[in-house]
Amino acid sequence: MLNLLVELKSRQGDRPDLALRLWYVALALLVVFAASVLNAALPLRLLDPRWLQGLIQVLLSQGFLPLIALVLLQLAVVLNPDSNRLRRRRDRFCRLALVAALGFVLLIPLQLASSWGSLNLLANGQNQQRLQGLAVIGQLRQAISTASSHQDLASRLASLPIPQSGSGSAADLALPFPQRQRNLLEGLARSERQLTRSAATAPIPWPALIETSLRVVPTALALAGAFAALAFGQGGRQAGKQALAEEAYFEALGRDAGS
């Protein structure tokens, strides 16, 4: 890379044109990044943790595009240092690089929060299924307890909005009805205990949280460090000095106006 820069600097006539082309390439990369993020973000579903996880994955997988664009812009300024327009663009993007670095760091707690929200949604769905199962058991228990014969039980089960609530097998029908009734109630009691036990012993899926964190943290920190290095590089220092000079200038104008 250093030899390439030395060779390019030796070609005075080609440098401005190449610098302009690098700017166009950087702009194209930024457009691709913005299009990818918008495609993942729209439509907005801020309360959906799965939407947030998908957006974070796109930001992490496509985050190298604006990083390469900023490097190309830095290279364009090196090739054509006399272009005030390129320097202003470089300084502007260096200030934005610091914002990007902070944003990638913030993706870590956002990923943890979205993972926790997804796990809560999964747990709520399982709990809803469990409650539905207990409700079905209650309906079946009511039908079985109030039935007086095989035919009465069959009609009561057929009236329930439960699929496959048939009249039973030939072996069940051969049993005396009180015995069959007792067997059915015991089976319902076992199923109810299993559902209740599974609700009480459901563990928090810490391995899933740790796995998602390990996937996100290294990439987010690497991108944040890269953007911070560019933000506090030569272009970043110049952008910072320019911002301080502008702030001092406006403060001086305010003091002059006050006096």
Predicted confidence band at 63 (pLDDT cuts at 50, 70, 90)? very high
**pLDDT tier, 60 (very low <50, low <70, confident <90, very high otherwise):** very high
Predicted model pTM: 0.60
Once rounded to an integer, what is the mean pLDDT over residues 167-183?
Answer: 76
What confidence tier does 28 reach under pLDDT thresholds 50, 70, 90? very high
31-45, 72-86, 183-197, 218-232, range with the lowest pLDDT: 183-197
- How far apart CA 144 and CA 153 sit, in angstroms, is 6
Query: Residue 10: pLDDT above 70?
Result: no
| Better-scored residue on pLDDT, 253 or 190 | 190
Q: What is the pLDDT of residues 237-248, one digit of tens each?
A: 444 444 444 445
208 neighbors 123 (Cβ within 8 angstroms): no
What letters, b where the CB count within 10 A reaches 16 and e where it falls short, cover 42-68? Answer: eeeeeeebebbbebbbbbbebbebbbe
Spatial separation of the C-alpha atoms in residues 22 and 93, rounded to whole Å: 15
Output the CA–CA distances (angstroms, integers) from residue 14 to 68, 74, 82, 211, in the order listed: 22, 17, 14, 50
**136-146 tens-digit pLDDT:** 888 888 888 88
CB atoms within 10 A of CB 212: 19
| Cα angle, residue 141 at apex, residues 135 and 142 outer, rounded to 5° | 95
- Share above pLDDT 90 across residues of the chain, in percent, rounded to a whole number: 22
Confidence of residue 24 (pLDDT cuts 50, 70, 90): very high
Say whether pLDDT at 216 is over 90.
Answer: no
Place of tokens 């044109």: 17
CB 219 within 8 A of CB 225: no
pLDDT in tens, 145-162: 888 887 888 888 778 777
Which range is least confidently modeled, 52-61, 140-149, 200-209?
200-209
H/E/C letters for each residue in the chain? CHHHHHHHHHCCCCHHHHHHHHHHHHHHHHHHHHHHHHHHHCCCCCCCHHHHHHHHHHHHHHCHHHHHHHHHHHHHHHHCCCCHHHHHHHHHHHHHHHHHHHHHHHHHHHHHHHHHHHHHHHHHHHHHHHHHHHHHHHHHHHHHHHCCCHHHHHHHHHHCCCCCCCCCCHHHHHCCHHHHHHHHHHHHHHHHHHHHHHHHCCCCCHHHHHHHHHHHHHHHHHHHHHHHHHHCCHHHHHHHHHHHHHHHHHHHHHHHHHC
